[in-house]
């Protein structure tokens, strides 16, 4: 993956900025579009915190659309390259048929309850730990899980930013 510096981001026009960071939040380039005007950034953390602030200041409908842009964990369907890599790092691309079916049941129960997919920063997690988190989070209230899912989206974005930007 191509790496960029904070200095290059600060010099980028809006189109280039969105091209570089538009995929940090899954299928939601609007986060990068709105963050661009907050330049200059002083560090990678500043970029991440500013993007997180952009999400925090979005409408509830925009946040819900952001959550719904994420694929189901363990899904064997089309997803972004970043999601494929992250799920593969957790072994979700190598589930047995029984594990796959269990994930599908949990994804369905979660989706039925919260109306968005289960989201977790899964990089280097095990399928067992992810499944346990899914089971535990099914007990959350709707408002608690909405915030937990947004927190996880921000963790995913932070990992992606750290991969894209050279300190």
How far apart, in Å, are the Cα atoms of 85 and each of 91, 122, 149? 10, 10, 20
Cα–Cα distance measured from residue 33 to residue 37, given in angstroms and rounded to the nearest whole number: 8
Enter the pTM of the model.
0.94
Q: Looking at residue 74, what DSSP letter applies?
A: T
* Annotated active-site residue in 32, 36, 54, 70: 70
SS3 of 165, please?
Answer: strand
Provide CATH code, domain 4-166: 1.10.3330.10
pLDDT tens by residue, 4-63: 999 999 999 999 999 999 999 999 999 999 999 999 999 999 999 999 999 999 999 999
Length of the chain: 167
Domain ranges across the chain? 4-166
- Rounded to a whole number of angstroms, the CA Rg of the chain reads 16
Residue 2: the pLDDT is: 60
Cα–Cα distance measured from residue 54 to residue 117, given in angstroms and rounded to the nearest whole number: 21
pLDDT tens by residue, 55-110: 999 999 999 999 999 988 887 667 888 888 888 888 888 899 999 999 999 999 99
Q: Please determine, for residue 1, whether its predicted confidence score (pLDDT) is greater than 70.
A: no
Residue 80: the pLDDT is: 87
The answer to whether 70 is a known catalytic residue is yes
CA 56-60-64 angle, 5° bins: 100
């Amino acid at each position: 993956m191509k790496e960029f510096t904070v200095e290059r981001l600060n010099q980028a026009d809006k189109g280039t900025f969105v091209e570089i960071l538009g995929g940090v939040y899954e299928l939601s380039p609007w986060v990068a579009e709105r963050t661009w005007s907050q330049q200059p950034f002083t560090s990678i953390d500043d970029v991440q915190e500013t993007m997180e602030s952009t999400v925090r200041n979005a409408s509830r409908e925009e946040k819900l659309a952001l959550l719904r842009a994420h694929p189901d964990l363990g899904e064997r369907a089309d997803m972004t390259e970043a999601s494929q890599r992250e799920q593969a790092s957790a072994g979700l691309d190598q589930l047995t048929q029984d594990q796959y079916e269990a994930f599908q049941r949990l994804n369905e129960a979660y989706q039925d309850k919260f109306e968005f997919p289960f989201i977790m920063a899964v990089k280097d997690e095990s399928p067992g730990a992810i499944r346990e988190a899914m089971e535990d989070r099914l007990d959350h209230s709707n408002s608690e899980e909405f915030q937990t899912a947004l927190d996880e989206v921000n963790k995913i974005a932070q990992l992606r930013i750290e991969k894209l930007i050279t300190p």
